[in-house]
Chains A and B, each alone.
Chain A
Amino acid sequence: MTLHIDIPEETMSGILAKAFRNTAFVTGFVITVLILAMALVSYVWTPYDVTKLVIADKTQGPSLAHWFGTDHFGRDILSMIMVGARNSIAVALVAVGIGMGVGVPLGAFAAARGGLIDEALMRVNDLVFAFPALLSAIMITAIFGPGAVNAIIAIGIFNIPVFARVARAGALAIWPREFILAARAAGKSRTQISIEHVLPNIATLLLVQGTIQFALGILAEAGLSYLGLGAQPPMPSWGRMLFDAQTRMVVAPWMAIFPGMAIVITVLGLNLLGDGIADILDPKSRRQR
C-alpha cells in the first residue's frame, strides 16, 4: 500500500479559521462535546437514580416526568443513557489509547528500520487481521470473564495493528522526503528523526484514524455488552439496554429506540469530527472537476 501525504503548510490561526467554516467539523465537534459533557454531568447529577428500582413506574412511555420513558424495572432511560455514556466513552477511549500507544511506535519503528524487522512486524499484523475482530473480542471476554476492563483489552488489542499499519504507511511516505535526508546529513539518528520529523508530520493522519477507531470502539463496546460480555449490571450500558429492550419490543419500543439513538449520534459525531479534521488539513480536498 502506498500513501500520499500532502503536508499542509498553514499557520494555526489559518487552520482554525478553516475549521469554523467546515460544517462537518463544527457539527461533529459540537456533538462530541455534548456527549462528553453529558457523561461528565452524570457523575454529579442525573434526573433519577439509576440504581434505584421503582417497580411502580415500570415500562412507562416517554412523558414529562420521564422524557425517554422507563425500563422494566422502572428506571429512567434518560438517566441510564447519561450514565451509560461514561462506560462507552471510557472503554472506547482507553482502547484507542492502547492501540495508539503500542501501534504507533511499532509502525514508526518498522518504517524507520525496514528490512526483516518491518517484514516480520507486517506478518504479525496480517496474522491479527486474519481473526475477525469481534469474534476474538468475544473469545477474550468469554475466557477472561465479562466486564468493562476485559472489553477494553479486547477492543484495544485489535486497535494495535490498525494504528501500526497507518503509522507505518504514513512514515513510509515521509521517509523518502528530502528534509529527512537533510536531517540524516546533519547526523541525526533514525530514532531522533522519527520523533522530531516523522511523527509530527503524520500526527493528523493518526488523529483522524483515532476518531474513526474511537467511533468503532463505541460500536464494538455496544455489541459486546449487548451479548452480555461488556459492563455488568447494575452499571448501565447502552448495549445492555438494547438487550433488555429486545424481548419487550412490542410493549416498550422506546427502550430500544433511545439507547440506539444515543449510539448513532455519538458515532456520527465522532465520524463527522474525523472527516472534518481530514478535510481541513488535506490540501488535496480542494474542489476540482
Chain B
Amino acid sequence: MTAYLLKRLAISLATLVLASIVVFAVLEILPGDPARLMLGMNASADQVELLRNQMGLNAPLLLRYLHWAGGLLSLDFGRSYTYSVPVIDLVRERLAVSLPLALIALALSTVIAIPVGLFSASRRGRAGDTISMGAAQLGVAVPNFWFALMLIYVFAVWLRLVPAGGFPGWSAGIWPALKSLLLPAVALALPQAAILARVTRSALIEVLNEDYIRTARAKGLPYRAVLWRHALRNAMIPVLTILGLQFAFLLAGTIIIENVFYLPGLGRLVFQAITQRDLIVVESVVMLLVAAVIAVNLVVDLSYAVVDPRLRSRQ
C-alpha cells in the first residue's frame, strides 16, 4: 500500500516538474519581449535594457527557471504586465469565481449521471434505458457554449429568471452570486453528465457479466441487491477515471463558458492574458491548472487503491 502511494506520489511530482519545464520553455521561445511590451513602443533601448535587468530577464536560463519555479513554490508568481498587480492577487480574485463554478458543475454532473447510469444498467434494453441513453447520446453531442447560449435565451432573455451574464461578486451576497453561476454550471455540467452516465452504465454492464455476479446470485441475493453490493463498487474504477478527466475538462471548459457569460474567472483571465501577451499571468495560471489536474489524478489513483484491494498489495 505505502509502496503504491509513494510511487504514485513520485510520478505526480516528476510530472509536475516536467510540466513546469515545458511551460517555462514554451514561453521562453515565444516571440515578443515582455519588457518592451510593458514599456510600450516609444521606450528607448536603454530603458528596455534597464527593465530587463530589473526583471531578471538577462540572467542565465537555468537561473531564471529556478527563480521562477522557486517563486511558484512560495506562491510568489510575480507581477502582471498589463494589470500591474501581483499575479497571486489576480488569481485569488478569479479563483473565487472559477473554483465554485467547477465544483458546482462537477457535483451536478455526478449527482445526475450516477443514478441515471445505475437506472439504465439495471433495466438494460428496456424503454427506460433506451430513453435515458438516447438523451445521454444527445447530451454528449452538444457543445457546452452553444448549450449555454440556448440556456441564456430561454432562462434569461425569455423567462427572465436569471441574469444573462456577469458576476455581482460574493460581496453582493451569496444568493445573487450563486444565481449568476447557476446557468454556467448547468451548461458545463450537462454534457459532462451525459458522458459520465454512459460510462457508469457500460462499466456496470461489463461487471454484471462477470462470474462473481453469478456467484452472488447463486447465494440468493436478488438482482437489485447484487447490483448495489457487488457490481457498483467494481464499476467504480472507470467511473473514477472519467471523473478525474472531467475535472481537467471542467477547468478548461470554464475558459469558453466564462467568455459566454462574461464571468471574471480564471478562464477569462488566462484567455485575455494570452491575447495580451501577459506571459507571467499565462504561465502562472497554466501551472496552477496543471498542478490541479495532477493533484486530482493523484487523488483518483489513490481512490483506486481504496476501491480495489488488489492495488493495495501491489507495489
Binding site for B on A (CB under 8 A): 123, 126-127, 129-135, 138-139, 142-143, 215, 219, 222-223, 226-227, 242, 245-246, 249-250, 253, 256-257, 259-260, 263-268, 271-272, 275, 284, 287-289
Contacts and interface: CB of A to CB of B under 8 A. Distances in A.
Contacts of B208: 288-289
Identify the 10 closest CB pairs spanning chains A and B, nearest first. A132-B252, A260-B146, A267-B141, A268-B141, A134-B252, A142-B274, A135-B252, A264-B141, A132-B248, A256-B149
Given A134-B252, A226-B145, A271-B141, A139 B26 contact: yes
A242 B149 contact: yes
Interface of B: 11, 14-16, 18-19, 22, 26, 30, 124-125, 137-138, 140-143, 145-146, 149-150, 152-153, 157, 206, 208-209, 223, 248-249, 251-253, 255-256, 259-260, 270-271, 274-275, 282, 286, 289-290, 293-294, 297
A288 B137 CA distance: 22
Contacts of B297: 129-130
Given A215-B141, A263-B146, A253 B252 contact: no
A123 B14 contact: yes
Contact of B150 (A123, A142, A227, A256): A256
B137 A271 contact: yes
Given A130-B294, A139-B274, A268-B138, A260 B143 contact: yes
B81 to A, nearest CB: 16
Contact of B140 (A132, A142, A222, A267): A267
Chain B facing A: main interface SS? helix
A127 B19 contact: yes
A126 B17 CA distance: 12
A145 to B, nearest CB: 10
A134 B259 CA distance: 14
Nearest to A4: B206
Contact of A223 (B256, B289, B290): B256
A127 B22 contact: yes
A130 B253 contact: no
A285 to B, nearest CB: 9
A143 to B, nearest CB: 6
Contacts of B260: 246
B201 to A, nearest CB: 12
Given A126-B15, A132-B252, A139 B145 contact: no
Contact of B255 (A135, A250, A272): A135
Contacts of B15: 123, 126-127, 130
A227 B138 contact: no
11 contacts: A123-B15, A130-B297, A139-B286, A143-B30, A222-B143, A260-B143, A263-B141, A264-B143, A267-B142, A284-B206, A289-B208
Contacts of A257: 150
Given A138-B271, A250-B157, A242 B248 contact: no
A209 B314 CA distance: 30
B143 A223 contact: yes
Given A223-B256, A226-B256, A264-B142, 13 more contacts: A129-B297, A130-B294, A134-B249, A134-B255, A135-B270, A138-B255, A222-B143, A226-B145, A227-B256, A249-B152, A249-B153, A250-B157, A256-B153
B153 A253 contact: yes
A255 B292 CA distance: 37
A135 B153 contact: no
A135 B275 CA distance: 13
A29 B151 CA distance: 30
A227 B259 contact: yes
Nearest to A255: B149
Contacts of B249: 132-134
